[in-house]
Amino acid sequence: MLTNHKEIKAWLDSMDIENYTINDAGTVTVEGDVVISGKGLTEIPVQFRIVYGYFSCGFNNLESLNGSPREVGGDFDCWNNSLTSLNDAPQEVGGNFNCINNSLTSLNGSPREVGGDFNCWNNSFTTNPNCDTIINGQLIWE
């Protein structure tokens, strides 16, 4: 995890992320969208705090959501990775939460609240997954 402000800035700029603030603690707030999909990432190297738009980290090789924002104003997409857990997922997602095409066996660690649908189909569930998430849309698991 990057903690040096100069290194964080260099990484954010290399990912074409705009309208960001690096907070004193080294966390990042973005007044817009974050799209780091399809970049071959094995980790999210910065700690996002709040992303007011949507956050998309799909089509990578992530095994963990460490570095994900605590809050996302729009959709959160982490589909097509190698996730076995939702630990470190955002706690609040204003739009849809999409964790399709991973290796999840449970929804432990899922957000407290999702403003839209919770899409988790094509994972490794053996039974209907349960979660304590407040879902304002639907839980779609198969």
Residue 80's pLDDT is: 98
Cα distance between residue 111 and residue 68, in whole Å: 12
Structural contact between residues 53 and 33, judged by C-beta atoms closer than 8 angstroms: yes
**What tokens were used for 11?**
């990484």
Residue 17 has pLDDT above 90, yes or no: yes
How does residue 142 score in pLDDT terms, banded at 50, 70 and 90?
confident
pTM for this predicted structure: 0.95
Q: What is the mean pLDDT of residues 11-35?
A: 97
Residue 128 has pLDDT above 80, yes or no: no
Domain that holds residue 5: 1-142
Cα distance between residue 122 and residue 99, in whole Å: 9
Q: What is the mean pLDDT of residues 13-41?
A: 97
Cα distance between residue 113 and residue 139, in whole Å: 12
Residue 127's pLDDT is: 77
Total structural domains in the chain?
1
